Every structure is written in structure tokens, then in C-alpha cells.
Structure 1
Amino acid sequence: MEQLENIKTLILPVLDSLGIQLYDLKWVNEKKSRILQIAVMRADGSMDIDTCALVSEKISEALDAHDDWISFEYFLEVCSPGAERELRNAGEIRGALGKHVCVRLKSPVKSMMEITGDLLEMNETTLTLSYRDKAVTRKAQVELDQIEKIRLAVKL
């Protein structure tokens, strides 16, 4: 854990200089390989392959300057957190206002355990969503403490 904190401290200024935000940083074991996976995005949540490549190059340079921090072979993977990434905290949820989301609930709201729709509002205790019920657009208010998981959703 301390190793990841050191890496995070090292790469945050690199990301900041590129106008990129850190979404996640973790070690992934895949077969016999260890992968340092760094998920990044722009402030608007977008990401493209060219920017991932640039970020990978800059982070690799920073890590190479501190190669004594990691005592084993590993691969560096810089990626997007994905179009349907989880919204993990109030700040990320606020950043998704106006976007299409999927909310999994702990208990039913309007007989639904999951609501997919546009995130309209957020206050201290509730979210307001606009969703389609057949041909009718409806609204639902969801208590924040009733949310099991919320993620961005691709609108088809």
C-alpha cells in the first residue's frame, strides 16, 4: 500500500502538468505478470489513445528515475476508466450531472431495483433521475443511502 502511495505522489504532478486526472492506481496480477494499472481521464471524463500513450511515456520516465521503488519486473498499463465507469463518491456523481447513469438500489424505488436515466439533480441526501418508462418520461428521487452502486451508462 505504501508503495502505491509513493507512486501516486510521484505521478500526480506529471498528470497535473498534462491536464489529466487520476481515476485509479492498482497492481493487477495476470498469469505470471504484475501490471501497474493507471486509469486516467480528462476533467470532462474523456480520454483517447494518443493521450494514454503520452501519459504512459511521461509516467514511465518518472518511474524509471525511481526504479529502486519497485524491486520486481512489471508492465505499465495506462488506460481510460471506461465509458461505464463507477461513480465512487459525491464529487464524481456531481461531475456526472446531466449524463446518463445506471443506479443499482438497495431497496426498490417505484418497484425498481435499478434505474437507468439522466442524472438531473443532486443535493445532500437525494438524486433526481429522469428515465423512460415505455413511451413516457418519468422522474424518480433516490436517497443517496439507498444506492448500492452508480455508474455512467452509454445511452443507446
Structure 2
Amino acid sequence: MKKRRVVDIVRDIALPYCVENKLDLIDVEFVKEGSIRYLRLILDKEEGISLDDCSLVSKYLNKKLDSIDPIEENYLLEVTSPGVERELKRDTDFEKFKNSKVNVKLYTPIDGEKVFDGILLGLENKIVSIKRSDDSINKISREKIATIRISVDF
């Protein structure tokens, strides 16, 4: 039997608690940054995530993870909001943030560009449509997009 991935185990533990507390579990990451491993949960809710929301999930998850101990290595638990320049990860994100300004990074260039900005027109049949500043429209397979984030001018 294949060993279950840490993110899958954590998602299975956290999701019911998040649903019960009306929190949207956007993503679970288990990543190494420098010499430190991070177990990162990204949460959201309609009115925005508070520090109390993050703290509640962190305490719950710490207790659960300590009892079953599924992670062999040392790590830091981080429970956070997606932020204003959030990455769009789920199909529902593409609908929710339709007509928003986005920054797109591709795995391989299209017409010589790997990074560009535009307005998100939507996602249909795994194709993302972006309207560029010159009013041209790029239709890009979601598989070719490394990241797509909300872009905010400060």
C-alpha cells in the first residue's frame, strides 16, 4: 500500500473542522523553505479570516497531529489567509475572481512571454481566458499555468 501523503492526511483531519466552523480550506502545503519544513494551511471565509480563526485551527490541528503523529520530521505549522494577492487554485476561485486583474506565470513561454498581467475572463473546460491591456485575449490551458494570482496596484 502506498504511504499517504502528509497533505492528504492533514486535509482529512482539518476539513471537517473547517466546515464545522464555516471556514474554507483553500490549500494544504508541506514544503521546505531553506532548512525549515512548513506545514501550511490556507483558510478563507466570506468576511475574511481573522487571527482568532487561524489560532482556533492551529490549536485543533496541533492537538490532533500530536495524537496521531503522522509527520516524522520537524516542521512549523502555519495557518494563514490567502492574502490580497492570493493565488487562484480551485475552479471556484476562477469564478469568484472573474473580472479581476491577475498576474500569470507560465511554465513555458507563449509568444515569447512567461509572465504577464491581464483581466481574468474565466475558466471553461480547463482553459483560462485572460484579456490583455491591448484588448487581445489569451486562452491558456490551465496545465500550462505555473501560478495565477490576483494583482493589486498599491
Structure 1 vs Structure 2 CA RMSD: 3.2
TM-score (norm 2): 0.70
- Larger Rg belongs to: 1
**Distance of 2:70 and 2:85 partners within structure 1:** 33
Q: What secondary structure does 1:2 align onto?
A: coil
Unaligned runs of at least 5 residues, structure 2? none
Distance 1:71 1:112, change over 3 A: closer
Residue 57 in structure 1 maps to residue 59 in structure 2: yes
How many residue pairs get aligned? The number is: 146
**Distance of 1:32 and 1:128 partners within structure 2:** 37
- C-alpha deviation, 1:128, in angstroms: 4.3
**Distance of 1:19 and 1:55 partners within structure 2:** 12
8 Å CA contact 2:120–2:130 kept in 1: the answer is yes
Distance 1:67 1:121, change over 3 A: closer
Unaligned runs of at least 5 residues, structure 1? 132-137
Distance 1:73 1:150, change over 3 A: closer
Partner of 2:103: 102
Residue 76 in structure 1 maps to residue 77 in structure 2: yes
Identify which of 38, 60, 75 aligns with 1:35: 38
Moved more, 116-125 or 74-83: 116-125
Residue 22 in structure 1 maps to residue 25 in structure 2: yes
Which amino acid counterpart does residue 6 of structure 1 have in structure 2? I
